[in-house]
Chains A and B, each alone.
Chain A
Amino acid sequence: MPGKLKAKIVAGRHLPVMDRASDLTDAFVEVKFGNTTFKTDVCPKSLNPQWNSEWFKFEVDDEDLQDEPLQITVLDHDTYSANDAIGKVYIDIDPLLYSEAASVISGWFPIYDTIHGIRGEINVIVKVELFNDLNRFRQSSCGVKFFCTTCIPQCYRATLVHGFVEELVVNEDPEYQWIDRIRTPRASNEARQRLISLMSGELQRKIGLKVLEMGGNAVVGYLQCFDLEGESGLVVRAIGTACTLDKLSSGSAPNTNTHMHPNTAPASNACNSPSKDGKEPVFVEDLPSSSGPPTPFRALPTSSSPPPFSPSKPCSRQSSSSDTDLSLTPKTGMGSGGSAGKEAGPLRTLLRQQTQTALEQREFPFFTLTSFPPGFLLHVGGVVSARSVKLLDRIHNPDEPETRDAWWEEIRQEIKSHARALGCHAVVGYSESTSICEEVCILSASGTAAILNPRYMREGCLDIGCTDHRFEEPSPPNCGFCHIPYDELNMPFPAQLTYCYHCRRQKVPDVLFTTIDLPSEAAVAGKGCLIQARLCRLKKKAQGEANATAISNLLPFMEYELHTQLMNKLKLRSMNALFGLHIQISVGENMLLGLASATGVYLTALPAPGGIQIAGKTPGDLSSEHISSIQKRINDTIAVNKELYQINPPELAEEGVGSPIPEPRHRSRLFRSHSESSDELSELDLSHGKKDAFVLEIDDTDAVEDIHSLLIDAPPPTGFYSCNTENMPGISNWTSGVQMFTSVRVLRLSNANLTNQGLNKIFTDLCENLLKSFYFKLRSMIPCCLCHLNFTVAVPEEELIQVTVTAVAMTYDKEQTQEKTAEKPINKGSLEAEEQLQFPLELCADSSSSNIQTASKISGVGESTNMSPRAASVDYGSFADRCSTWLELLRLKAHTIRRGSVKTSRRTQSLAHSVSSLERCSPLQEGRSRSLRSSRSFGGSSVTVVKMTPLSFLPGTRIIKYLGIINMFFIRETTSLREEGGVSGFLHSFIAEVFAMVRAHVAALGGNAVVSYSMKECVFMENPNKNQAQCLINVSGDAVICISETDQESSASTANTGQTGGSETDGAT
């Protein structure tokens, strides 16, 4: 009996008239939890009843507390006939179950009825007393915090990132049960709402248990989804990243409050660097201690003893995966002993193995996070994705959801192996989704292959950080993640590599596709922009197996085409990297829709993209005049876009580029496949054969169409920018204007015989028109940026295309952008300083000679680590590597020392982002950024105002408390569609109602904002002939209390770089 739930019904207001005769209502309330129900007295003849009930007490298990919602039903008392229900309120009491969050839920909740919508409001107070809050939980996992936010939440510090957690539960869908034929739509809807509420409670509890097992205390990047499989059932599944989070006390908060916390990477770099004169080789003195703490290393080779790593989940796949591993790691480690193998030193191998092993111990080294503390992400390989087409069958035993589990496991394995092929040991920005049509289901997963810093994987790492970070590669923070993680001579796909345009030491690819957010420290030129690829493919109607095969045959072609479109659009905007890439493929009865969205950006570390060239394959077909006119249009567009997005990359210095930069060639970072057609597809070459990617060949009219459609995308009107990521590349000085919105558009295709081309055009126009509508509607917010534009497509019926968009418009300060630009030379100066440093050659030689033993010692460790005979060999490539890393350290050190005093002479316009990233680590600029923040106040002071945003922060404010996760599921149905204003009127009021209910719950928790808000599901069905419609909406987010930055400024006058370090800073200035 570990918990007591108490509820009190205070009052109601704005109730509907239930008695036509008197124009009044005799209302009373039923309060239900589990199987216990209490009732209030009837409050006769009032539309604003005051019940002021006693405290209703429920004594329950904490397991139930986690699973069950508190159900409040408002009824109209009727003496002679059955009482009429007015509506219901479901209150998720999970936020009350952990001490740091809300302590009481109290406030006005909309009374919701699935047929009539909101009908008045009710004032309720709910409290929970937990009898034992010690960790004696067996089935419950009270105390594990959940966050939808895909970064380390503000006001927390991650001491440990444990890794991937997943779970799914299945059940029969009440809508498809036999009983549904005899009960009312209302009863059916309510049964469904309740079931889903229960299932997500259960799911959350189970995930919590896994987290506790791993030793964590929180789930970050929690992503829960529903699969409405119709006849075959209902699946609720969730993934997340288990972490151990430390709450930062309010005093220290400004220091460390954000996920881009400066003390993580730059500080350790400083610590890492040799003594100030820069002559002492660092590795000699460091080595003994590095082999000193032996546990982590010794434990590595044998997977049977995993102690130093927190994730202790035994995994059956261990052996097989480490097999593949052995074949891969040596390749990267040793295979490149030659001249170019700068990255292949033993130290690095060691590092990698260490991390890799740490990660290997997890079944899936996946992270649902999309942004990370600086230094966490060492290298990014590229996007990995996998899709699989499945035929649904009835879930026979809900308690054993093995089939669905196995499906996902399969996909995850595939993702994992793709990541390995890219020389990466982890997948970040990982997400999963499904698309269901009748009995066919496409499961998709995607993420970004990456190499992570091992520090974060180990227990207590941050405390003993100083012993670890020597293994860190001191690659400059603003370009390090661009450096290729895979072996150059053994590239998983044809790619064009060049030396990094920033540090000139490591190789970088010509383009980079990722699913994560732009790292805060990344150096970019100009602004980013939303890039979308849209595609429609008709398919024949079919059933069962044949249908599934048809779909899986289409998938690779769709991915290929989406990828080509993305690439071309990227070039057209003169950019070289995509962040936040999300590819959605949606299946309908007679077509497939593909929509890829990402934020394009120009990374200065990567080579400049070339133009696009048009060539006629068969010159006779098209006049050269025609081709040249198209070519001209393309060139013009590129020029316009360069201007528009202010892409003026720093010019290349002549020296130092090790290898000649050849004409870059198009190539793919996209890995995908789907299980039905297995291997051969995963090896599908997306690099357009041997052609030069920049050449678009026109061989038929279709190709002309394609090129035209490329040029259709209208740039946003002046004053607008758009992106689909957390941070808008190039804009960080947000002001307080925030407008979150959801828009839904459904198009009916009346034309029976449409071609693929025609459909493409329709679909593209639909998306473009939506964007145009947003710009127009939000024009009063100019200058403004649409952030986190999240498009979801669906084919609800044969001839319908539905696009749902949720995004936030945020205002920013134009003038401060200029101020920032003025600031840039300082930054440039420091770069120059770095370059001005001349290291005497003998220093290099010196260190290399003195390092011989060091290196061999290290590789000795490596040997013991991976038991590979090859590991023992010491090659000269590693010396080169050693020197270069060491030199790098020196430079970095010098860079920090001399930063303040350099003059600014280099002529380049640089990037707001690099400025802000430097700001973060540099105390010197702190004053500046603080002044930039100036006095900006956050909204009105009224308690009832609840801001919502899909981002993890609200500009101009600081989150001081996370109150718990909001995860709500609503069904709305109508049998009087015309009277409610048609489908648009119906959906409009439903969405408004959903917003209202989210806001009310947040307000009742004592919060004033929802961050990381998302609308996961919006399923709309209509039957205009019957005057009926039904809609299901699932939303989630984190309820928070945030305070205006100006308020806190006084309290935290000692605030320093930490505060400027977060994404919140981006909002602040």
Chain B
Amino acid sequence: MSVELDVFVGNTTIMDEEVYQLWLDGYTVNDAVKVRMEGGVMDECEASKDVLLSDTMDQYRTFQMCERLLHSPAKLANQLLFQIPPHRQIMLIERYYAFDDTFVREVLGKKLSKGTKKDLDDISAKTSVTLKSCRRQFDNFKRVFKVVEELKGPLVENIRQHFLLSDKLARDYAAIVFFANNRFETGKRKLQYLSFQDFAFCAGQLISNWTVGAVDNMVEDMDVDLDKEFLQELKELKILITDKDLLDQHKSLVCTALRGKTKVFIEMEGSFKNLSRGLINIAANISLPLRLYPCRSDRWSAADMKLYLTHYTNSAHILDTFKHQVVWDRYMGVVKSCIFKMYHD
């Protein structure tokens, strides 16, 4: 005796958020049932394991049928097959496009190609995110990337409108797209301590200040591609380290301002040249902006860093012979906030 067929269909599609999460997390039906049993759901309504199994199967089927629609979330709202209340639709989409920070950290800045997809089982093993879930997340990245690639207008807004995501999630996706597009490497060992959110913040800064879109908001890829003219101009900042006079002048200005305000002054003074060189070199060779790392030192506190950078930036304005004030601000504004973000444990 066996159950040959077992379905339950509601006029309003019934979805349990807990089961949805288990499905998204790539649990098999049996594993999901186990998890649910442990979660104590059996105590409600005197359910038995069979009931739970049947319910889980039903829901998994529903989600599978919905998945096609979730690939283009706008369809979910005007499809006729499932009657899903609007707030549920939002939940479905938001959760479907949500990702694990540990997973995204692994693929951030990598090309969203088949090659990377083949490596997903390694990533799955490393992050202990199930392969199924890895695939879904990876495909989401790729799908979003593909769609916004061809769209004009602001990146975040495009993602939000096209995939009906929340502002927060849309920004995260913008960062992912931005990194994937510019292939900024984030896998370096020195950067390992940085979370996805740190990177996402930096990407946000870059998008709003350094991309083409920061000047012109009607071009294609405006938020994905960096402003080339600006990058050219950045090269001219080199004068701050190549011109010995400027360098000295800058240093003394900064040191004067800093003296007595920090415990690590000596160190700051000593490493000024290196630091300055580091910062300016990034500007000259922007494809690796995340070499901002040199600023990091175990002994500087965040406040020290902040103090230092503020004065470092402001002092440059006082330099008479330094003519690139606008570029400098555009550059240092972003660098400063990125460094602040990264300067944590």
A interface vs B, CB < 8 Å?
13-14, 108, 110, 118, 121, 714, 717, 720, 739-751, 762, 769, 772-779, 800, 802, 940, 942, 945-948, 981, 983-985, 987-989, 991-993, 995-996, 999-1000, 1020
Contact = CB atoms under 8 A, between A and B. Distances in A.
A988 B51 contact: no
Contacts of B9: 741-743, 988, 991-992, 995
Contacts of B47: 772, 775-776
Contacts of A108: 78, 80
A981 B80 contact: no
B46 interface: yes
A717 B46 CA distance: 7
B30 to A, nearest CB: 16
B55 A118 contact: no
B209 interface: no
The 10 closest A-B pairs by CB, nearest first: A746-B5, A991-B9, A746-B4, A741-B10, A743-B8, A740-B11, A988-B7, A776-B47, A983-B5, A717-B45
Interface string B64-96: 110000000001001111110110000000000
B11 A741 contact: yes
B48 A772 contact: yes
B174 interface: no
B14 interface: yes
A714 B83 contact: no
Q: Which of A108, A747, A988, A993 gathers most chain B CB within 10 Å?
A: A988
A786 to B, nearest CB: 12
Contacts of A717: 44-46
Contacts of B52: 776
A777 B8 CA distance: 9
B243 interface: no
Contacts of B83: 945-946, 995-996, 999
B1 A751 contact: yes
A776 B7 CA distance: 14
A565 B231 CA distance: 87
Interface residues of B, number: 39
Interface string B21-59: 000000000000000000000001111101110110110
Given A717-B45, A740-B10, A1000-B80, A992 B1 contact: no
Nearest to B52: A776
B345 interface: no
B81 A779 contact: no
Contact of B80 (A121, A773, A984): A121
Contacts of B79: 14
Contacts of B64: 981, 985
B2 interface: yes
22 contacts: A110-B80, A717-B46, A739-B11, A739-B14, A741-B14, A744-B6, A745-B3, A747-B4, A748-B2, A748-B3, A762-B1, A773-B55, A775-B45, A775-B47, A779-B44, A800-B4, A992-B81, A995-B11, A996-B81, A999-B11, A999-B80, A1000-B80
B65 A992 contact: yes
B126 interface: no
Contacts of A110: 80-81
A996 B46 CA distance: 32
A769 B51 contact: yes
Contacts, number: 134
Given A983-B4, A984-B61, A739 B12 contact: yes
A741 B7 contact: no
A989 B63 CA distance: 12
Given A743-B7, A747-B4, A776 B55 contact: yes
A775 B51 CA distance: 10
Given A740-B11, A984-B6, A988-B7, 20 more contacts: A110-B81, A121-B80, A717-B44, A739-B11, A739-B14, A742-B8, A744-B6, A747-B1, A748-B1, A748-B3, A749-B1, A769-B51, A772-B45, A772-B47, A779-B44, A985-B61, A985-B64, A991-B9, A992-B9, A996-B82
A991 B55 CA distance: 17
B11 A988 contact: no
Contacts of B6: 744-746, 984
B8 to A, nearest CB: 4
Contacts of A940: 85-86
A800 B85 CA distance: 36
Nearest to A947: B11
A988 B4 CA distance: 13
A136 to B, nearest CB: 40
A520 B328 CA distance: 83
A619 B276 CA distance: 105
A1022 B86 CA distance: 36
A987 B5 contact: yes
- The binding surface of chain A is classed by DSSP as mixed
B12 to A, nearest CB: 6
B329 to A, nearest CB: 47
B313 to A, nearest CB: 52
Given A741-B10, A996-B81, A984 B57 contact: yes
Contact of B61 (A740, A745, A747, A981): A981
Given A14-B75, A121-B80, A984 B7 contact: yes
Contacts of B4: 746-748, 800, 983
Contacts of A772: 45-48, 51
A988 B58 contact: yes
A663 B214 CA distance: 92
B51 A773 contact: yes
A779 B9 CA distance: 15
A28 B198 CA distance: 52
A399 to B, nearest CB: 39
A773 B6 CA distance: 11
Interface string B294-334: 00000000000000000000000000000000000000000
A467 to B, nearest CB: 48
Contacts of A751: 1
Contacts of A992: 9, 13, 65, 81-82
Q: Which of B7, B44, B80 gathers most chain A CB within 10 Å?
A: B80
B54 to A, nearest CB: 5
Contacts of B80: 108, 110, 118, 121, 996, 999-1000
Contacts of A981: 61, 64
Q: Which of B4, B6, B10, B13 gathers most chain A CB within 10 Å?
A: B4
A714 B78 CA distance: 42
A108 B79 CA distance: 10
A983 B79 CA distance: 24
A799 B62 CA distance: 28
A800 B10 CA distance: 24
A993 B79 CA distance: 11
B99 to A, nearest CB: 26
B45 A776 contact: yes
Nearest to A743: B8
Interface string B269-294: 00000000000000000000000000
Nearest to A714: B46
A744 B64 CA distance: 19
Nearest to A945: B83
Q: Which of B1, B44, B58, B64 gathers most chain A CB within 10 Å?
A: B1
Contacts of A989: 65
B80 to A, nearest CB: 4
A769 B45 CA distance: 12
B51 A744 contact: no
Interface in B147-186: none
A499 B2 CA distance: 52
A769 B10 contact: no
A980 to B, nearest CB: 10
A743 B54 CA distance: 11
A90 B160 CA distance: 38
A945 B83 CA distance: 7
B2 A987 contact: no
Contact of A746 (B3, B45, B61, B85): B3
A744 B3 CA distance: 11
A1051 to B, nearest CB: 27
